[in-house]
Amino acid sequence: MSLSLLWAISPNGSPVPIDTDRLALVASSAFWFRGVLISGFVVAIGCAMELPETIAVFRRWKSARFKDEIIDENPKNWRIPVAAFGLILVILGVGAETIFESLTSNAETSIREHDSALLGNAEKDAGTAMLDAANARNETAQLRKDEQALKTEADKAKGEMVAAQVELARMTGPPYLVPVIHGVATPNISNGNKQVVLLTQDTRIALPKFPKNKTFSWTLSLIQDGVGGHHFTFSPDIGGFDPNVDVSPRTGWLVNLQTDSNGSRNTGWGGVRIAAPASIPK
């Protein structure tokens, strides 16, 4: 029955390992229990063998008690040895039944202890599996956290690289065209170290402040539009140039501004006439 049960609970009908120790304990318990049954049967037979003599003794007692008659007993009657043998069977059967019940109880106790040990091992294995699963989940969460941190650092590095590329393109790319608003052009060094002011009217150039503790060089191109004749001034004022410069259409002049690491500024007025770049609108 145990083997059939094991096959019944196995997945897909595949064989499973059989617990031979438990099967041996169950067989031992069944063997001793058969002894209990046989002992009870022997006791019953012994009692049955004593019954005729018991009935005869009861009749003699009844006659003597109620009729004052004494019934003589035949000493050769077979009831006497049969009853004696039956008494022996009862005594032996009761003793054997006691012994077999004790052995059966021991076998059942061994089965329970075996099942308890198996259950304890199964619970221990289940606890270990749960702990391993929890550790695996924690490790997975940590790996995801590390992966997210690496991804964040990679995104940050990518952003910094893009910013650096943008800054490089801004610094080395085409000159920045400074807008003129209400006759005032306000260059900003953050827009690159090469900038252009298109003179469409008389314009005041508001020069930027240079960073301190850093060597810096900056070039500003002043280009006349297609009409020309527009004059310009600087704020703060810089010397070294003739305000009556050539203001012909599509001509220009350079202003070079530099600072050293001590913060001293050196302004140079480029008195060389230049042609307007083709990218500058007419």
Question: Looking at the domain assignment, is residue 32 inside a domain?
Answer: yes
**Residue position matching structure tokens 């810089």:** 238
Give yes or no: residues 209 and 253 share one domain: yes
Query: Is 199 part of any domain?
Result: yes
What range does the domain containing 35 cover? 2-144
| Of the candidate ranges 15-19, 112-116, 265-269, the one whose mean pLDDT is the lowest | 265-269
- Find, among 215, 206, 211, the residue nearest to 255 by Cα: 206
Which residues face 4 on adjacent strands? none
The answer on 109 and 9 residing in a single domain is yes
Asked whether residue 100 is assigned to any structural domain, the reply reads yes
User: Has residue 275 got a pLDDT over 70?
Assistant: no
In this prediction, residues 36-63 reach a mean pLDDT of: 86
Residue 70, SS3 per DSSP: coil
Average pLDDT rounded to a whole number, residues 137-161: 87
Residue 107 CA to residue 34 CA, distance in Å, equals: 13
Same domain, residue pair 83 and 204:
no
pLDDT tens digits for range 166-178: 566 555 667 888 9
Say if 231 falls within a structural domain.
yes
Inform me whether the pLDDT recorded for 4 exceeds 60. Answer: no
Is 131 found in the same domain as 12?
Answer: yes
pLDDT of residue 3 exceeding 60, the answer is no
Same domain, 132 and 214: no
pLDDT at 107 over 60: yes
Say how far apart CA 253 and CA 255 lie, in whole Å.
7
Q: Hey, CA dihedral for 272, 273, 277, 280, is it positive or negative?
A: positive
Residue with tokens 């008389």: 202
Edge-to-edge strand list for the sheet holding 180-181: 180-181, 184-185, 203-206, 232-235
Kindly state whether residue 154 falls inside one of the protein's structural domains: no
Residue 269 exposed, middle or buried by CB count within 10 Å (0-12, 13-18, 19+): middle
Q: If you write DSSP's letter for every residue of 144-209 in order, what string do you get?
A: HHHHHHHHHHHHHHHHHHHHHHHHHHHHHSSPEEE-EETTEE---GGG-SEEEEEESS-EEEEPPP
Looking up tokens 């065209």, which residue turns up? 177
In this structure, are 134 and 180 located in the same domain? no
pLDDT at position 5 is: 44
Residues 188 and 73 occupy one common structural domain: no
Residues 130 and 37 in one domain: yes
Pair 140, 56 in one domain: yes
pLDDT at 215 over 60: yes
Structure tokens at 267: 């302004």
Domain termination site, one of 144, 160, 194: 144
pLDDT tens, residue by residue, 232-251: 888 877 665 555 667 778 87
The pLDDT tens digits of the residues spanning 20-36 come to 888 888 888 888 888 88
Q: Is 261 exposed, middle or buried (0-12, 13-18, 19+ CB in 10 A)?
A: exposed
pLDDT digits (tens, 9 = 90+) for 93-106: 899 889 988 888 89
Average pLDDT over residues 241-269: 66
Boundary residue ending a domain (126, 144, 162): 144
Predicted pLDDT at 99 = 92
- For residue range 179-188, list pLDDT tens digits in order: 999 889 998 8
d(CA 39, CA 93) in angstroms, rounded, equals 5
pLDDT computed for residue 170 by the predictor? 57
User: How many distinct structural domains can be found in the chain?
Assistant: 2
Cβ-in-10-Å burial (0-12, 13-18, 19+) of 4 comes to exposed
